[in-house]
Structures are given as structure tokens and as C-alpha cells.
Chains A and B, each alone.
Chain A
């Protein structure tokens, strides 16, 4: 009996190790292909496993770092401003609709839920934001459309619901205002849920490319994703840049993969460290939308 349990646990662990390897292959292609020299690339092409370790692509990026640094700057600005505003909007609203004594909670929940069921689609948003609000080529076009995600609001509402109502009641009996209750009681107690959603929102902003695709057309705000998009659609783009800077001892393909690596690595680190909040925050009562 004991032995059979042990064997099955080894098999299950093997399955997971295999699965993890498969999941990691795409990342390996990006990272290890970026570590090839020009001659190496001509010989091996794109690789899954490292054939050589050569940093010339990275050296090239950092020799002329203006573009990559400015796109990091834009991405960080969009992510920071966006996440901050978005968290204020979503937590306040989520708290209000989580209050069981608030008479309009059902109406407001449905008001938000309906937008998950029915929408004007990308046409509606595009015409409204570009033609009427005239946000094209402003940083607000990258921030405003993504501020509120109904799904995240419902995750936050569930976290707020976990807080005993008696705490809110007793604070109010002592004469606390709603805003005070929200800041001093709700935010600290719902912090796991808030951290989870904040992380989701950080990723959403960091990885967003669709807003850039629709609303940025003169290169005024180039985010990392926009930069990557440009390189994916325009094969010779970086090479031309490289020609301008005279020295091209770098393989264009490795260079592209290097930029891609630089765009994903910071987030993968952030994620690995904050992953533990995820499991808790997302699964707390997230069962019922």
C-alpha cells in the first residue's frame, strides 16, 4: 500500500516536471535565441537549448539605449498611473456594492455586470475615444480605457464581503464617516484581494498593446509592447537602426529576441515573487461571479 502511493507520487511529479518543461520551451526559444552571435545564428538559427552564450545583442541594445529606455519609461508611467487610479476606482465601487445595507447594491452590480454581457465592441470604443473624446496620441488613450475591469471589481467585492459587518456597524455607531471606515477598516482587511487585483492590473497595463495599436499612430507614446509590435510587423526595422549606428556585428534576429527578453523579464520576476497572493486572493469566494 505504502509503496504504491510512493510510486504514484513519483509519476505525478514526473508529469508535472514534463509539463513545466513544455510550458517553458517558448520562453527558452526567446531567451536562448537572444544569446547568439551573428555567426552563431547563421549556423544554428533559432534555438530551444543554448548553443552559445553571447551578449552582443544586449551590448548593441545598451550601446544605443535611448529607444528602449524611453519605452520602459512610458510603460512604467502608464502602468503606475493606470494601476493607481484604477485601484481607487475599483475598490471604492466594490466596497459600496458589497455593503449589504446599501439599498442600490443590486442595481449597481447589474449596471456593471451588464457591460460584461453587452458592449459596443472595438468599433464603439474606437469611434468614441478617437473621434469624439479626441484622445488619439495622448497618454490617456493608453490609461483611461482600461481603468475598470468588471471581473476584477467582482473579485474585490467578494474580498470586501468577507469582512464582518459588525466591524463596520460599530465604527459607524462611534460616529465614523463612510470614507473613514473604508480607508481605516476595509482597505487593511481586504488587502489580499486588493494586492491580487493590483497585480492583475499591473500586468494588464504592462502587457497592453491593443490601445497602442488603435490610438497611437505618430509614435508619441511608445510602450514596450508597441516597440515589440513594430518590430514584429516590420522585419527590417531594427537593422536600419543598426545601420545608422554603423557597427552591425549583431544578428537582427537575436537583437529582436533580446528586446523581447528585456520586455518580459521584469514582469516575470515581479510575478514569481508575488505569486503567493494570487492563489489566496483569486480563490477567496471568487466562485460566484
Chain B
């Protein structure tokens, strides 16, 4: 008797599910092409992480290649490369996050004080332009700037009476060059998001602030910035999550893939590419990828948890 009831309950439950599935069939069908794309181009390639534990042989394929345990990781971490690429990736990303966030918030705040619409649009357009050219194009700019014989930088130096510098064999200036290139490309675009967040703030807050006698600086610190915190946190979580990812184009084309500069310009992604296409060591390349993905994943979860604790509205999930 009891069993029958349970079975019935199960059956009605199943019927209900089937009913909702059929009822939403058309919507699901609309989403289906994208679902298929995501499975094919995002989920299936994830299986390649097993290559981190294999000695990949392209003839035998992903599943046919021999397992080799932790050999790839041993190779990776016993070389000097791992320390260099992890250090470079993390330090550059830290510099990028801190500087880009600070500068773009300042730009957004300044932009908000401008009253003429024409100028707001003009400045925004110009500052956003760099975001819409590729790193390959930036590579051409770098060539124009740092070419030994004809570059703008060396022309300027010799016009001032100095000796031409060998830009591509001295590592010292490159951290600054790379950071500036990143800021050049990213700041105007990011400022757009912060500007949008500032515009979304309710005007009555500022009126209330004025009644209380707040000056412009106090307005920024007690009204504007606190109201922007969700935007700031969202963008921060995204940046922290990609702390382990280096923008391949930036680190490949800005230093023009010069081996002499790897010490300060090689990051995880350029290393993965080189291991895969130049050296042909797919196993080590996959080991780095797995390390990168797992650490990135943990960073997102941790930073989200921290933000949730501090301010539950600003967390992403």
C-alpha cells in the first residue's frame, strides 16, 4: 500500500517534470543552438586537461596517449620557468588591477563634472579608441617607438645628445612599457562602466548631501564611491579571477616576442603558446593550463566569499 503510494508520487512527480519540460519546449528550443555551441566549443575542450597527466602523442590522440603521472608537473616546477611566469603574471595583473581601477574611477569622476555634452562625448570617444585596435596594431606602434635606428624614442634621445638605447635587449624599461600599454588600451573603456555607475546614482542623495553642507570631496567619498561599490566589486572579482591569466596579445606583440626579454615579459599564456607551438611539449603546456584554471577558479570563489562577508549585496553569486 505504502509502496504503491510512493510509486504514484514518483510517477506524478515525473509527469509534472515532463509537463514543464514540454510546456517550455519552444523556449528551450530557442536556447538549444547556443547550448550545442557551448558544449562543443567550451565543455568538450575541457577534457584536454587530462593531457596534464599524459605524455601526449598526436598520433595516439588525447585518449590514446600514455599516462605519465605527475611528470609534466615535475618538469615544470623543477625548471626556473614556472617561478618566472607565475611571478610575472601575478605582478603585472596586480599592477593592472590597481592602476586601471584607480585611474578609470578618477577619469569617470572628472568626466562627471563636465557639463557640456559635446565634450563628454568627445573625450569618451577618444579615450575609448585604443580598446578597439588589436595588439597586432600596437606591435606596429612599438616598432615605431623603439626601433633602434629610426624609432621615435631613439630619435628623441639623439636629438637631446644622448646615446641610442638598445630597447629590445634591456629588460629594465619593459615592465613600465607593458603596464602603460595595458593602461592605454583599457582605462578609457573601463571608465565608461564607472561613468555609467555614477550616472545611475540618485540625484536626491547629492541634494541631501548639500543640505548637510558636504563639499565636493566629501560628496565623492561619502556618496559617489559607496554607491559605486557594486560595480567596483564586480569588476574586481572578474580581475582577481583572471589574476593567473596573462593577455596573450599584450605580452606577445608589445615586446615583439623577444627572447632576450622573457625574464620580464614572459607570462603563463605566452609560455603555454610557446610550449605548444614552438617547443611542442603539449603535456607541460596542459599542466600549466590546469594549474592556471584551478588557481583562477579558487581565487574567484575566495574573493567572492570575502566580498559576500563584507557586503552581501555586492557579491556576484
Measured CB to CB, the residues of A under 8 A from B are 8-9, 12-13, 15-16, 19-20, 23-24, 26-27, 29-30, 33, 41, 44-48, 88-90, 92-93, 95-97, 99, 102-104, 108, 111-112, 115-128, 131, 144-145, 147-148, 153, 177-179, 182, 203, 207-210, 214, 225, 228-229, 232, 253, 256-257, 260, 263-264, 267-268, 271-272, 275-276, 278-279, 282-283, 286-289
Contact = CB atoms under 8 A, between A and B. Distances in A.
Nearest to A270: B132
A132 to B, nearest CB: 8
Contacts of A131: 58, 61
Given A30-B137, A46-B151, A118-B46, A93 B34 contact: yes
A123 B285 contact: yes
Given A9-B113, A207-B133, A26 B28 contact: no
Given A89-B33, A256-B140, A127 B62 contact: yes
B137 A119 contact: no
B38 A26 contact: no
Contacts of B122: 20
Contacts of B51: 123, 127
A247 to B, nearest CB: 22
Interface string B41-85: 111111111010000001001100000000000000000000000
B20 A103 contact: yes
Nearest to B292: A121
A97 to B, nearest CB: 7
14 contacts: A24-B126, A29-B144, A45-B151, A115-B43, A121-B272, A121-B292, A125-B45, A144-B41, A147-B37, A147-B41, A209-B136, A228-B136, A275-B125, A278-B128
Contact of B152 (A46, A179, A282): A46
Interface stretch (B89-97, B218-226, B230-238): B230-238
Most buried by A among B51, B133, B149: B133
B100 interface: no
Given A102-B27, A145-B41, A289-B316, 4 more contacts: A45-B154, A46-B143, A121-B286, A209-B249
